[in-house]
Copies of this chain bind each other. A is one copy, B any other.
Amino acid sequence: MRYFVAVAEELHFGRAAQRLGIAQPPLSRAISQLERRLGTTLLERTSRTVSLTEAGSVLLREGRAALEAVEAAERRTRRAALATTGQAGVVLATKAGASDELLAKLLDAYASEPGAVTVDVLLCAIGEQERLLRDGRADVALLHRPFDSTAGFDTEELCTEGQVVVLPAGHPLARRTHLRMADVTELPGLPMPRWPCRDGTYPDGPGPQVRDHTQLTQLIALGRACAVLPESCRAQLRDDLAAVPVPDAPAVTTVIAWPPQSRSRAVAGLVRAATRL
């Protein structure tokens, strides 16, 4: 399975073999065996190019999920072992620089519960939380719909908030009481930045590429970009930035999410504390 995913991602037997740390011939054979076992061709190969069949792309998607599931199983077991010896607590993943006060309140509320264990907070780059949660490096995460996908997790809604546009403090529009999306998407000289896609590449477009909130606020302060963000970001706004409400931007819901199988005592406690906020 690991072999197939590697080949399907590289679309090149040689490179895939290298990545897997094996030689190319065993890899060819393994793929043929897999194809024979499933009774289908998964890869269409000419001697110059390799491409996925329909069945192959299904297996790529499902196989990735399966691999993540076994990794998660191993990791969570290891951590459960540490937890019994008291050497580890529960890992919470959250976006760096988002939902700060909510997070603080949550940690406070949970810490005051009886039987609370230590919570290791993992600050993530954009879109990283889902993977951490899926592959067992994190036990629970704070996600923001509709930006993050909650597919495959159990979730509980925590709060919903409107969005604001963040501008350099001196910008002419910064004194307005509110703006519409149409006003801010095409600001001359202040393009919206581009966030990385799930595969790490950036979409085409005019804006600068950013990876986290620090980069973003810096760019805005420099007058090179603007951004539409959840209201709660105002609490941590530098004083050279200004925020103006954008009523017609989609509302952002912060949810607490956890993998459906792993409702441990610690995760259940965190969720309970979160819903009581």
Contacts and interface: CB of A to CB of B under 8 A. Distances in A.
Contact of A154 (B38, B63, B151): B151
A65 B77 CA distance: 13
B61 A65 contact: no
A59 interface: yes
A264 B54 CA distance: 11
A260 B72 contact: no
A84 to B, nearest CB: 5
Contacts of A56: 77
Tallying the copies of this chain within the complex gives 2
A178 interface: no
B77 A38 contact: yes
Interface string A136-175: 1000000000000001111000000000000000000000
Interface in A51-83: 53-56, 58-59, 61-66, 69-70, 72-74, 76-78, 80-81, 83
A24 interface: no
Contact of A152 (B58, B66, B260): B260
Given A151-B154, A154-B151, A261 B62 contact: yes
Contacts of A33: none
Chain A interface, >50% SS class: helix
A75 B215 CA distance: 44
Contacts of A81: 38-40, 53-55
A91 to B, nearest CB: 14
A65 B54 contact: no
A85 to B, nearest CB: 10
Contacts of A237: none
A262 interface: yes
A72 B80 contact: no
Interface residues of A, number: 39
A222 interface: no
A86 to B, nearest CB: 12
Interface string A1-16: 1000000000000000
A83 B53 CA distance: 12
9 contacts: A40-B80, A55-B84, A58-B262, A62-B72, A66-B70, A69-B69, A151-B154, A152-B152, A152-B154
